[in-house]
Amino acid sequence: MRYAIYFTPSEDHPLTCAAAEWLGRDAFSGEALPQTLASGFERPQLAELTADPRRYGFHATLKAPFHLKDEMEEADLLDALRSFCTARQAFDIPGVMISRIGPFFAIVPAETHGPLQDFAASVVEAFEPFRAPLSADDMARRKPERLTGSQRQHLTTWGYPYVFDDFRFHMTLSGPVPDDRAPVMAEALETHFSAFTNRALRIDGLALFVEPERGAPFQVHSWQALAAPTNG
């Protein structure tokens, strides 16, 4: 069993529903859904291009997948998640957009947002006591030879290369998309998610995701709301 601390909107949030329709899977229920047809793509091609994010479920990684330390229990992790969330207030990313990051597409902040970076760092630190060290195979899967020096250090220290100054918030919507199909994918995503881009996205909770066994689909185990902001 692996665990992960991700941001995802609540189960009934319109963005959660739109993402589930796009990916063809609801990470809260674990159920497969009829995948929304996208202009320019046959259904099998779109299913192939979204296979990776479909397995992980719609999310932004904050604490990457990890095994629990032997001395830790799932109940301890859940208690820590509740305590963490009740002690921190919800906040807004001022604006989000569709962007291509290398070969894949994601929802990302329109610009770097300091409170988001700080929040992400606090999640990494707060849940580190629960993480078992990476195995040699897990380290190798991250291809450390392709990482920068700081990313290799993060991988060794925190179990994930993309934290702190190397963190970039993203909610993945595709796997690798060939260059000749990228403009069509960008247009399809802009159309499907038009109700959510170029406006604020509230970070109002955290989800504990679980992977029952290596390679199995991730599913939301529980979702915990952040405290209501004092300024509304």
Q: Which domain CATH number covers 198? A: 3.90.1140.10
Query: Quick check: is 28 in a domain?
Result: yes
Q: By residue range, what is the domain housing residue 161?
A: 2-225
Query: Quick check: is 81 in a domain?
Result: yes
Q: pLDDT tens digits for 165-203? A: 999 999 999 999 999 999 999 999 999 999 999 999 999
Query: Quick check: is 231 in a domain?
Result: no
Distance from C-alpha of 81 to C-alpha of 226, rounded to nearest angstrom: 10
Residue recorded with tokens 């909770």: 205
The number of folded domains in the chain is: 1
Q: Which of 44-48, 130-134, 137-141 has the lowest mean pLDDT?
A: 137-141
Mean pLDDT for all residues in the chain:
96
Query: Quick check: is 232 in a domain?
Result: no
**Residue 127 pLDDT level (bands cut at 50, 70, 90):** very high
Distance from C-alpha of 73 to C-alpha of 158, rounded to nearest angstrom: 20
Query: Quick check: is 26 in a domain?
Result: yes
* Interacting residues of 194 by C-beta distance below 8 A, sequence separation 6+: none
Distance from C-alpha of 130 to C-alpha of 135, rounded to nearest angstrom: 15
At 196, which helix (H) or strand (E)?
A: none
**Partners of residue 3 on adjacent β-strands:** 66, 210
Residue 230, pLDDT score: 82
